[in-house]
């Protein structure tokens, strides 16, 4: 599949009535590509562990690995020590990503 920039360059070659407009589109797309690249470079790394809380954010509901596909909307990053501590205090491990196995805490 062609990139948007490639398609815009094609439009530039075909369009003869208003090439300045197409050049603005190209400049805008080049700027967006640079912004996307910079954003990806600056994005912080994904957390290794997540701790999910209930609706009132007072109780811990589950512990997840950072790669879990089903952590819930109230999951927040946690350190390895926090994840281990939560599991030791009987917080359930996610049944999908099994952080207890990843941490070596299997009863």
The model's pLDDT over 81-98, given as tens digits with 9 standing for 90+, comes to 999 999 999 999 999 999
Sheet of 60-65: strand order equals: 60-65, 49-53, 75-78
How much is the pTM? 0.61
Give the tokens for residue 19. 């090439």
| Cα–Cα distance measured from residue 18 to residue 4, given in angstroms and rounded to the nearest whole number | 19
**pLDDT given at position 24:** 87
**pLDDT given at position 16:** 66
Whether residue 87 contacts residue 100, with contact meaning beta carbons closer than 8 Å, is answered with: yes
pLDDT top residue among 8 and 80: 80
Strands 49-53 and 75-78, bridge-based pairing: antiparallel
Round to the nearest angstrom and report the end-to-end CA distance of the chain: 50
Least confident of 14-18, 88-92, 99-103: 14-18
The model's pLDDT over 44-87, given as tens digits with 9 standing for 90+, comes to 888 999 999 988 877 889 999 999 998 888 999 999 999 999 99
Whether residue 102 contacts residue 83, with contact meaning beta carbons closer than 8 Å, is answered with: no
Q: What are the helix and strand counts (H, E) for the chain?
A: 4, 3
**pLDDT given at position 107:** 58
């Amino acid at each position: 599949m062609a990139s948007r920039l490639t398609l815009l360059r094609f439009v530039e070659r075909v369009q003869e009535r208003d090439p300045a407009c197409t050049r603005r589109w190209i400049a805008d797309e080049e700027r967006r590509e640079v912004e996307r690249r910079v954003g990806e470079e600056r994005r912080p790394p994904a957390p290794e562990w997540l701790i999910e809380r209930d609706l009132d954010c007072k109780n811990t509901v589950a512990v997840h690995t950072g790669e879990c596909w089903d952590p819930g909307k109230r999951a927040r990053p946690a350190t390895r020590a926090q994840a281990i501590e939560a599991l030791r205090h009987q917080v359930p491990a996610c049944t999908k990503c099994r952080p207890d196995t990843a941490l070596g805490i299997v009863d």
